[in-house]
Amino acid sequence: MGQVSLSIEVTSSPAQAGAEIGVSARVTCSPACDTTGLVVALFEAGGNRLGEVELSRFDGDAASSDDLVLSAPLAVGAHQWTAVLPGFDAGDMSFAGATVPIDIEVTAHAVTLNIWGLPGAIAAGSTASMFVGARCSCGCALGGRTITIHDETGALISEAVLGDTVWQKTEALYFAEAAFSVAGGEGMHDWQVRFAGADMTPEHASGMAPVGVRIVAPAEHVVTVEAVDDNEAPLAGAIVSMHPFRTTTDERGVAQIHVPKGSYRLFVSARRHVSSHTEIDVSGDVSTRARLAVEIRPERL
Amino acid sequence: MTRKLGDKDDVSTEDSSVSRREFFKGGIAVAGMGAAAAVALPGAAQAATPDGIAWDYEYDVVVIGAGCAGVAAAIRARDLGASVLAVDQNFEVGGKMLHSTGLISLGGGDPLQLRDIRGEADPDGYITVPPVEDPAELEDDVDLLFRDMTDWSVLDPQAQAPYRYNERPLHRAWADNCSAVRTFLLDNNVRMGRISGTHGNAGMSRARRAYAFLMEGEATDVVKGTITKEDAGIPGVSSSLFAPTLMQDGSGTVAPTARTNGTALARPLEHSARAKGVQFTLHRHMDEVIREEQFSGRVLGIKASYSPRLDPKTGERLEGYWHDGNIDEKKDVVYIRAKKAVVVSSGGHAANPEFRGMFHPGFREPAFVSSGFAWLGPRGQDASGIKAGIRIGAGLAGMQQNLSYPSTFHFPGTLATRDPYTTMLPGNPAFSTRGSTGIDLGNDSFQHLIAVNQVGKRFFNEMTLLKGWSNASFPPGPNKGQPAAGLDFKQLDWRNASAENVRNTYSANAGVHAATALNEGSAEPDFLSGPIWAIFDQAAVDRDEWNIEPPFTSPDNGLFLSADTIEELAWKIRSGCQWQRVELKHLVDTVNNWNANVDSGLDPDFERGPDAPMYKIDTPRFYAAALFPVWHDSYGGLHINGKAQVVDMEGAVIPGLYAGGEASGGGNQHGLGRALVHGYIAGTNAVGEPAA
C-alpha cells in the first residue's frame, strides 16, 4: 500500500504582520512517483483562495514547487491556512487527495529607536535637545507618530512628532528633534525614549531605548585651547575634549570650553595628527596650547 | 615567440638606447644568447624520452616563479650562457618585487655604501641629495655583515631573536655575494638612491638600505631611468599597468622628482631579462617538481598547468605590460625539462591558510589573505614550491622564524578591502580582483570606531591594534629593541639579550592575536575566528573625513555594509559577507555598552580612553567595514645551503634543485635583499650543474 506525503514550507515563521512570505509545496510518494504538474491550492481559514503552486521539479524522490509570495495576515497572533493536494493516479496507486493545515504565526512589526545629538553634559536649569529616530522592521512610514521621553521615574519630559522624511542617508529612519529642559539633579540620569504602535495597522510593537543624560553644575570657568601643528600653524576643526565636555576649534585653531571647576584630561585631536592629552586642574580660567604632530604612517615594506 | 624543442632561432640583443616597450612592441625577436640556447620540442613531435616523460619544452635552467629571486636567478643564469625559462602563475613578471616598496638592503662594503662614503652621486647625476648617513655608519665589510646576520644576542622589541636562527652557511654566502649583487643590479639598469638605515632584520651595526628609483620624465624608459607621472601613479586616483602600486616620493634619498618602489627594481630587471633572452611563460602554475625517483636521483623538470589570471567581473584574461619573449601556451598541462637545474622561487606560503596555520592556527581563517593578494591573484603565495620540494624529500628551515618578524601578520589599518596591504588603485588590471581601495586610516583615526569579532564583541583596545612595527635593524635604539643608538651598538654582546634590556625595550602588541582568537562563534571542525569588523557611524565619517564611496568601498564585495540601525547592520553583515558564518548576536549590546562607556568616560573592558577621546556610535547611518589582518611575508621554507641548493631531510643535496626568496627558509631578513642574493647565487650555481 502506497503513501503520499504533502509538506508545505513557509520561508518566514513567525512572520511579521502583512510582510511577504514565500510558500512552497513538496510531495513525496512511497513507492516514489513523479507528481510534477499537479497544482496545490492554498486557502485562508475562511475559505478564500490565496493562490496555488505547481509542482515543477522532481529529484527522483520528491516533487516540489517554487515559492509563491503571499502577504502574511495583518492581525497579530496564530493563523491557520490550508493546502489542498488533488487526487491522482500513479501506476497501481490511486490517491484520493488531501488537505493539510499550515500554521502561520504573525507578530507585530518591531520598532528600533536611535538617539543622537544629545550633548555629553547639560547644565542644570538649561534646555537641550536630542534627535530621535524610529525604524520599523518592515520599513513602514512612521511619520506623524509621536515619541515620548521619560525620566527614571517614568515622568514625561518631552515629546515630539516624527517627520514625514527620513534622516539623511537612511532608508526608513523617521526622526524628530525633541527639546527638553532639565531642572536639577546633577549626575547621570537613565531616561527612556518610547514609541507606541499598538494602535497602528498593521500592529507595531512598542519601542524603547535607554538614554543617559548627564546633568552638571553650571559652568564657572573658561578653558581656552589653541591647537597648532608642528609648524605652529593653527589647526581648525580640531576636537577638544574634557570629558564630558567637547567642542571644536575655530579657524584660528582656538576653542573655548565652559566647565565647572575640577580635574580633567584634556584631549586635542585632529585628522591625520597624533592626539595630545594632558591633565588639567580647573580652578579658574585657563589658557593652554596643544601642539599636534603629524601622524607618521607605517611604511609599507 | 614560442620556443618549443627544435626551434633554432639565433640570438639578437637589443640596443639599450631603445625604449624597452617600443622595442617589444616592434616585435623584434629576442632569442637565446650564446651556445646554450634552448632546444624546444615541437608540440606535434613530442616523444617519450628515456626518462619516460613526454617533455613539451626543454631548457638548461627552469625557474619557477618570476619574482625577485626568480628574475635574478634567470638573468644570472642567462648571463652565464644558459637557456632559461621562467614560469609564473601571474599575468605579469615581477611577483611581489613589482608590488613592493623597492627597499634593497645589501652591504658588506657594497658599491652604494662606498659611493656614499665618497659623497658621490650616481653616473646619471640623478641623485641630488647628499649622503644621508655618516661615513662611519657606512663602513662595512663581509665579516661584519655575516656577524650581524647571525648575531645570537639581538632581541627585538617582541623579545624575539631575529638573527640567532639564521642558517649559517646560507648567510656566509649571502654576505659574500651582497656586493656582487649590488653591482649586478646596477649593471641591469637598476638605479638606487642614498643608503638610509637598514631594512628589517638586515643587521644592526651598519646602514645598508637603498630605494630603487626612477625619475619622472616625459617617457617611461627603464634604460634611461625615467617614468611618466601617469605610469608612476596619481595619488588617490590611479595606478598604471606599468606600476601596479603607487610609486612614492623619492625626494628624501634621491631628488625631488624621483619616484620609488618595487617598480623601479622589477621593471628594469624584467626588461634586461627579456633583452638577454630569458623566456617567460605566464598564467601557468607549477604543480610538481619531477625527480628521477621520489626521494633519489636528480631533478628532471617540472609539470605545470594553465592557470590564467582572469578578471573576476569580465572573465577576460589579464595581460601584462611586455609580451615579447613570452610563450603563450594554453595547453592544460605541460612538462618542462630542465637539463641543468630547476630553481624554486615561487614565493612563500602567506596565502595558504593551511600552511600558515601550522605556525599560527588563528590564520587558518581563509578570509585573511596575503599582502598583495590582488596583485598575485588567488594562486599566489600558495606554498606550491615548498610543497613540491617536500614531496621529493626536501628539508625545511627557519619555520619558527615566521613568528619573529613584526609585520609577518598584522593589521595594516585599511578598512573595507580584503587586500589592505597595498597602494594599488584603479588602472591596473589586477584592481578588479581587489575591488576597492579601502578606507585607509592612520592609527589616530581608530579613535572613531570600535572593532568587533564575528559575534559582535570587542576584543582589544582599538587604539593599539596597528602598533607593533619595530624590528631589529640599523640604527638601533630602544624602539629597535636595543639600548644604544647608532654605532654604540655592540655585536654579540650578551647585554643585548639581558632581561634588563628586554624589560626596557619590550613593546610587543597582541592585538592581532586577540582578533584571531577563539570566540563564541568558533566552531568545529576548525574553530575559525571569522572576520573582524570596524563599526562606526555617520558622525565618524564626517568628523574624520573618510571617503566611503567607490572605489574606496565596493557595494558588492560584502566588506562594506551600512544600515539605518545597528540591529539591521548585524543582519546585513551576516547575510552580505561570505566569510561571516554566524550571527553577530552581541553587536547591539556591544554598541550600547560602548556608548555607555563614552558617557562615563571610561572603558573598563579594554582600558581605551587614556590614549584618545571616545565617541558614541549613535548617529545614523551605521557602517561596518572589514578590518582584516594580512600575513605579509614568509620566513619558513625549503632548506638551502650556501649554494642555494635544496637540502633533503638527510642533509644531502637534491641534485639539480635550487631555491631562494620566500620559498626558502632560514633567513629572517625582510624584503628584497634576501631574495635577490638567493636568486643570484642560485643562478650562478645552476649553470654549473652538469647537463643531463
pLDDT tens digits, residue range B41-96? 544 345 456 678 999 999 999 999 999 999 999 999 999 999 999 999 999 999 99
pLDDT value of position B297? 97
Report the predicted TM-score, pTM, of the whole model to 2 decimal places.
0.91
> Among B628, B540, B531, B547, which Cα is nearest to B584's?
B531
Strand partners, B76: none
- Tell me the pLDDT band of B4, cut-offs 50, 70 and 90: low
The mean pLDDT of B329-350, rounded to a whole number, is 97
Residue B570 has pLDDT above 60, yes or no: yes
Q: Which residues of B touch A135 (CB under 8 A)?
A: 564-565, 568
How do residues B453-489 score in pLDDT, each as one tens digit? Answer: 999 999 999 999 988 768 899 999 988 999 887 788 9
State what percent of residues in chain B have pLDDT above 90. Answer: 87
Q: How many A/B residue pairs have CB atoms within 8 Å?
A: 97
Please give the angle made by the CA atoms of A246, A248 and A249, to the nearest 5 degrees.
Answer: 135
Summarize pLDDT for B96-121 with one digit per residue, the tens.
Answer: 999 999 999 999 999 999 999 999 99
The pLDDT value recorded for residue B270 is 98
- The counts of H helices and E strands in chain B are 18, 25
Taking Cα atoms as reference points, which of B283, B626, B235 lies closest to residue B427?
A: B235
Residue B232 pLDDT exceeds 90: yes
Contacts of B544 in chain A (CB under 8 A): 271
**ipTM of model:** 0.89
Average pLDDT of the residues in B307-334 = 97
Closest chain A CA to residue B564: A170
455-484 in B: which are within 8 Å (CB) of A? Answer: 466, 469
Could you tell me which chain B residue has the CA closest to the CA of A139? B564
Average pLDDT score over residue span B326-341: 97
The residue type found at B270 is E
Query: What value does the mean pLDDT take over residues B134-143?
Result: 98
How far CA B141 is from CA of A139, B157, B165, B344, in Å, comes to 73, 27, 22, 30
* CA distances in angstroms from B345 to A89, B118, B279, B686, listed in the order given: 69, 36, 16, 13
**pLDDT score of B487:** 82
**CA-to-CA dists, residue B114 to B133, B183, B579, angstroms:** 12, 12, 52
Alpha-carbon gap: B550 to the closest alpha carbon of chain A (Å)? 16
Distance from C-alpha of A150 to C-alpha of B55, rounded to nearest angstrom: 83
pLDDT at B377: 96
**Interchain contact, A295 vs B565, CB within 8 Å:** no
d(CA B125, CA B219): 18
Q: What is the pLDDT of residues A248-287, one digit of tens each?
A: 999 999 999 999 999 999 999 999 999 999 999 999 999 9
Determine the distance in angstroms separating the CA of B408 from the nearest CA of chain A, rounded to an integer.
11
Q: Do A272 and B442 touch (CB under 8 A)?
A: yes
More confident residue, B20 or B424: B424
Structural contact between residues B199 and B406, judged by C-beta atoms closer than 8 angstroms: no
Tell me if chain A has a CB within 8 Å of the CB of B549. Answer: no
Q: What pLDDT sits at residue B484?
A: 81
Nearest to A19 by CA among A69, A90, A55: A69
- Å between B278 CA and nearest CA of chain A: 28
State yes or no: pLDDT of B8 exceeds 70: no
**Confidence class for position B14, pLDDT limits 50, 70, 90:** very low
Nearest CA in chain A to B592: A210
Round to whole Å and give the CA distance between A219 and B427: 56
pLDDT of residue B3: 43
- Mean pLDDT value across chain B: 92
Please name the residues between 281 and 310 in chain B that touch chain A, using a CB distance below 8 Å.
none
For residues B281 and B85, the answer to whether their CB atoms sit within 8 Å is yes
Task: Write out pLDDT tens, residues B356-397.
Answer: 999 999 999 999 999 999 999 999 999 999 999 999 999 999
Q: Is the pLDDT of residue B404 over 90?
A: no
Pairing of strands A122-123, A207-216: parallel
Option in A135, A214, A275 nearest B612 (CB) = A275
Interatomic CA distance for residues B391 and A67, integer angstroms: 51
Identity of the residue in B412, B601, B618 whose CB atom sits nearest the CB atom of A244: B601
Q: Is the pLDDT of residue B633 over 80?
A: yes
Provide, as residue numbers in chain B, all residues whose Cβ is less than 8 Å from the Cβ of A172.
564
Is B671 within 8 Å of B100 (Cβ atoms)? yes
- What pLDDT shows up at residue A12? 85
Burial class (CB in 10 A: 0-12, 13-18, 19+), B305: middle
Q: Which of B180-184, B258-262, B554-558 has the lowest mean pLDDT?
A: B554-558
Q: How confident is the model at residue B631 (pLDDT cuts 50, 70, 90)?
A: very high
Mention every residue, 6+ apart, whose C-beta is less than 8 A from residue B330: B306
Of B423, B564, B618, the CB nearest to A115: B618
Among all residues of chain A, which has the CA nearest to that of B246? Answer: A300
Distance (Å) from the C-alpha of residue B621 to the closest C-alpha of chain A?
Answer: 6
Q: Which residues of A touch B (CB under 8 A)?
A: 112, 114-117, 120, 133, 135, 167-173, 188, 210, 212, 214, 239, 241, 243-244, 246, 265, 267, 269, 271-275, 277, 295, 297-301
Is B575 in the A-facing interface, judged by CB distances under 8 Å?
no
pLDDT string in tens for chain A (301-residue length): 678 999 999 998 899 999 999 999 999 998 889 999 999 999 999 899 999 999 999 999 999 999 999 999 999 999 999 999 999 988 778 888 989 999 999 999 999 999 999 999 999 999 999 999 999 999 999 999 999 999 999 999 999 999 999 999 999 999 999 999 998 789 999 999 999 999 999 999 999 999 999 999 999 999 999 999 999 999 999 999 999 999 999 999 999 999 999 999 999 999 999 999 999 999 999 999 999 999 887 766 6
Closest approach of chain B CAs to the CA of A170, in angstroms? 5
* C-alpha–C-alpha distance, residues A248 and B386, integer Å: 56
Interface contact B599-A272, CB threshold 8 A: no
What pLDDT score does B483 carry? Answer: 83
Which of A272, A295, A298 is closest, CB to CB, to B469? Answer: A298
pLDDT of residue A184: 72
- For the segment B222-243, the average pLDDT, to the nearest whole number, is 97
